[in-house]
Each structure stands twice: as C-alpha cells, then as structure tokens.
Amino acid sequence: MLTATDINYTGITGVSQGLNGRVVFTSLAPLQSDPGQAIAVKQMQIGVPLHDLNLRFQFQGDHIAVEGVSVESAGGTLTLEPTVLPLDNTSPISGAVTFNGLDFGQIVATTGLAQSMKFDGKLTGRVPFSIIGGHISFAGGAAAADAPGRISIFRSSVADLTAGGSMAANGAAAAAPADVNPFQDLAFQAMEHLSYDKLDAKINSTAGGKLDLNFHLKGRFDPPQPQKATVSIADYLSGKWMQKPIKLPSGTPIELYLDVPVNLDEILNDLSQFTKAKP
C-alpha cells in the first residue's frame, strides 16, 4: 500500500499543493491494483490556476487505466475522459478534455489572454489531445456558446491577433480598401463592444508549438452608450469625411472570425525551467 498525505511538489501538474491518496496494490510484479484507486490534489498551477483535482485509476501491469479525472478551474469543472497512461515513458498518450457551461471569461481573466480581451459567456466543448515525446498537441477541439454573451478585443492587442469578418448597416454590406483609416476604426469599434448571439470555436495546435483558438461570432455592435454615424453634407461633398472619425451605429450586425494564438510550448517550457530551478 502506498499512502500520501498533504504532499507539496512540482511536476507534471505544475506547482502543486496538498496531494492526498492511497493506492492498494494487489501485485508488485507486475504492478496491479483494484479499480477505483484515488488521488486528490488541492491546488496546482499549469498555465491556469486549478484546484480540487480528483483522479480515479487502476494499475494494470504496463499501464495505468485512468477511469476519470475532474478538476476545478476559475470558470468551472474540467473533466478528462477515460484513457490509458503507458508506464514506459515513450508510448504516446491520447485523451480528451471536456467542459460544460465553462465560464470562459474567468479563464481569460486568469491567463495572459486578459491583456488582449474580455469575455462574458459560457462555453461547452471537447478538446482531444495527444502527448508524444513530452510535447502536447491538440487537434479537432471544438466549443460553442451556451447562450448569448459579450466579447471585447482591446485595440492595443490587435497586432497579436488575426481578425476578419463583415459589418452591415441598414442591410447593406460595408466595404472599403483595407488601408482607409475610417473603416479600420469602424472595425476596431466593432471588436471593442460586440454582443454575440452565436459563437463557436475551433481549437488546434499549429506549427511552432502554438495553440490556435479560432472563434466565429455572429452578433451586433453594442457599445455602453447608444451612438449613430453622422457625416455632414459639406464633409461628404469635399471628401473630408474620410479624414474624420466616424461612430459605428449601435446595433450594426457583425460577423467576426478571430484567431487567437497561444504559445503553448513557451508556457510549458517556462514551467519546465521553473520546475528544474526548484530546490
């Protein structure tokens, strides 16, 4: 029998505190146990702060059969579907994380994404992953909003993000050359105050160890104070209207495609270096 009581450590689950558990082996060669062995961890930090991890598993010789994992995040519960963990440290590992009604705004607020955006809404989804040679990657991840919500993209962060989409006013599509400042400003306004009716997201790893969050939103421009676009006849006739800021009308329909890159390898490498530096 192996027992752990309030152990603090730094490892695969990051900086972790309060590991408790007991494993009763039915065989030591090979390692075997009954189903339902349990381990709990009070707090951990691995990219995002997590707490109250509960793991149920069984030793089955050359691998561990993970029966279920749940962990609490700032936005709600994350669960790991049943999977297999080989004990040879070389075989690939695959699995999927699921979430239901996750408050993504709280996740954003506790990560580096808070420098780029604010988010108000809940998501439900499933994200498959694989671990090969110590590197984790994601493929075919998908999430969707449970209900309407809001998103605000800060202008200062637009250089780090890729956005595309359309705006329509009074039923007509708005189009202009990309280098015309007034229309660029309208796009910035749209991203700063967007109420969405529908949102879905794709989650995949890309080259260079990056995690790509690809959002597709349909909604409307919804600033704190109602506003209208006003252009004087004199400015229009003289062409000066293109040299002045124009307010995007409240309620303008918006469809937005937004790519948010996250340097996952860098985050995990920083965590690894921190782990090695711990006494």
Judge whether 58 and 36 are in contact, CB under 8 Å: yes
Q: What's the predicted TM-score (pTM) here?
A: 0.77
Rounded to 5 degrees, what angle do the CA atoms 165, 168, 170 make?
A: 175
| CA-based torsion, 125, 126, 132, 133: positive or negative | positive
Instruction: Name, of 2-6, 28-32, 87-91, 121-125, the range with top average pLDDT.
Output: 121-125
pLDDT in tens, 71-122: 999 899 999 999 999 988 789 999 999 999 999 999 888 877 788 889 999 9
Q: Which pLDDT band holds residue 261 (cuts at 50, 70, 90)?
A: confident
Q: CB–CB of 142/125 below 8 Å? A: yes
